[in-house]
Amino acid sequence: MNDTLDIAGAAAALGIGMLIGLERERRKGRRDSRACAGLRTFAITALLGYGAMQVGGGLLVGIVATGLALLVSVAYWRHQSHDPGVTSEVALFSVLILGALCSIAPELAIAMGVVIAGLLTYRQKLHHFAISQLSEAEIRDGLILLIAALVVLPLVPDRFIGPYAAINLRTICTLTVLLMVIGAVGHIAVRILGSRYGYAISAIASGFASSTVTIATMGQRVISEPANVKILSAAAVLSNLATITQIGLILVAVDPALLQSMWTPLLCGFINTALYGACLLFHNTTGGCSAPIKVEGAFNLKLALIVTLTMTGITLLSSAMLSHFGQVGVMLTATFTGFADPHSSTASIASLAKAGLLPFSAIATPTVIAISSNSISKCLVAWVSGGRRFAAYVIPGQILLTLSLWGGVWVH
């Protein structure tokens, strides 16, 4: 038995029991359909768990849980004709355990209690979301993401292998999961916001997959919707926000310390791009626009794998160029590969830095070179896909982004 009782822990246990018990009290019903546990039962159970843990430790908590199981079984058997379910019973056991946990880690117990109370409170909305809102493809993608993040990623070794010791399997897997998460977040944003905010939100969300493809899509829409050229141009420019954000996330995923030399250029580029895109939107006089880009599934697994493999290939190429030509070789590689995808170049540069082949302070220049060369590609795509009017709005935005990045490098 503990020499002193923690009053704060007892108060936390009582608060958890009353919080969950209050929610159950509102739903326990009346007369014959009345549930077996309410506010008082949950509060007493939480305190019982705390007291048992203080007096007899885990053994006494197990004995109390066994007795509670017998009582709950009798109550459930008496009301089984009314199909009562087991939510309240499971919640009661949870409160007992959380009460015991309050004597060891009250902060964790309180957090778990709040989450349980939230799940119980919004059960109808959660049921409706799971049954009516989620598609089979979204559920499948969610399971794939959970398996990759919670099963595969922890098992992958964190060491450098291969030619030039530049490939890290943990980094590759982390980047793949990151791309999947980013795609899922963008998909959720489009699903929640719908078409109210038009092409801008859709472009930013789809820009996480490919900003270049998003600009091409907007340019194609200009042909059929010439009156919305400013809105579509603004959306195309704002898709660069996804590129900037994703580059920052890639650096953090590889090593958070890498962001120290890149946060100023990325912040300058983000702010100026957002201001330019907002100016195009606010000066639009043609009214609303039609539905946002259609997004299939929560994320594109094939695209995530292709991008990751591309990153790996560029990493090998960059490490070879670094080995034979020094940092000049890395910059040349970043220039040419950036035309197709700045994320792959950024990931390869970050991987070289983490492997100790490149100083952390030297990643800014090749990273900005990759983004700059990619801006040239976007300008060409805007001209080809949307014509002269579309390009006249998009190209200044890309130039502003590039100048902002280089200005940030100079300031930093």
Contact 243, 278 (CB under 8 A): no
In the chain, pLDDT over 70 holds for what percent of residues?
Answer: 69
With tokens 């246990």, the residue in question is: 13
pTM for this predicted structure: 0.52
Higher pLDDT, 319 or 371: 371
Q: How far apart are CA 334 and CA 341, in angstroms?
A: 10
Sign of CA dihedral 380, 351, 268, 178: positive
Higher pLDDT, 319 or 26: 26
Q: Following DSSP, what letter does each residue of 68-137 receive, concatenated?
A: HHHHHHHHHHHTGGG---SHHHHHHHHHHHHHHHTTT-HHHHHHHHHHHHHHHHTHHHHHHIIIII--HH
- Residue 284 pLDDT class (50, 70, 90 cuts): low
Q: How far apart are CA 379 and CA 372, in angstroms?
A: 11
Q: Following DSSP, what letter does each residue of 149-216 receive, concatenated?
A: IIIIHHHS---EESGGG-EEHHHHHHHHHHHHHHHHHHHHHHHHHTTTTHHHHHHHHHHTT-HHHHHH
Q: How far apart are CA 377 and CA 302, in angstroms?
A: 23
pLDDT of residue 247 exceeding 60, the answer is yes
pLDDT at position 232 is 83
Calculate mean pLDDT across residues 149-177: 74
83-140 residue pLDDT tens:
555 677 788 888 889 988 888 888 888 999 898 888 888 877 777 767 766 677 777 7
pLDDT of residue 292 exceeding 50, the answer is no
| Structural tokens at position 185 | 């977040």
pLDDT at position 291 is 46
Q: At what angle do helices 342-354 and 364-411 cross, to 10 degrees?
A: 90
Q: How far apart are CA 79 and CA 91, in angstroms?
A: 17
* Mean pLDDT, the chain, whole residue set: 76
Query: For the purposes of burial, counting CB atoms within 10 Å of the CB of 392, is it exposed (0-12), middle (13-18) or buried (19 or more)?
Result: middle
| Structural tokens at position 77 | 């058997």
Q: How far apart are CA 160 and CA 355, in angstroms?
A: 7
pLDDT of residue 233 exceeding 80, the answer is yes
The four Cα atoms 72, 73, 77, 83 give a dihedral, to 10 degrees, of 70
Q: What are phi and psi of 275, to 5 degrees?
A: -65, -45
pLDDT at position 6 is 62
Q: What are phi and psi of 386, to 5 degrees?
A: -115, -5
pLDDT at position 270 is 93
Calculate mean pLDDT across residues 172-189: 69
- Residue 280 pLDDT class (50, 70, 90 cuts): confident
233, amino acid identity: S
The domain spans of the chain are: 7-130, 135-411
- Residue 204 pLDDT class (50, 70, 90 cuts): confident
The residues that bridge with 167 in the sheet, in sequence order, are 161
DSSP state for residue 30 in the 8-state scheme = S
In the chain, pLDDT over 90 holds for what percent of residues?
Answer: 7
- Residue 395 pLDDT class (50, 70, 90 cuts): very high
15-61 residue pLDDT tens:
988 888 888 777 665 555 555 667 888 888 889 889 888 888 888 88
pLDDT at position 268 is 92
pLDDT of residue 288 exceeding 50, the answer is no
Cα angle 397, 398, 403; round to 5: 100
Longest CA–CA span in the chain (Å) reads 83
| Structural tokens at position 256 | 């958070």
Higher pLDDT, 324 or 353: 353
The residues that bridge with 278 in the sheet, in sequence order, are none
Calculate mean pLDDT across residues 62-68: 84
Question: Among residues 232, 223, 242, 261, which one has the least CA distance to residue 350?
Answer: 261
Calculate mean pLDDT across residues 309-316: 63
| Structural tokens at position 147 | 């398996």
| CA-to-CA separations, 364 to 259, 342, 350, 410, in angstroms, rounded | 9, 13, 10, 10
With tokens 């579309």, the residue in question is: 390
Pure H helices in 255-326:
263-282, 301-325
Number of helical (H) and strand (E) elements in the chain, helices listed first: 16, 2
pLDDT of residue 229 exceeding 50, the answer is yes
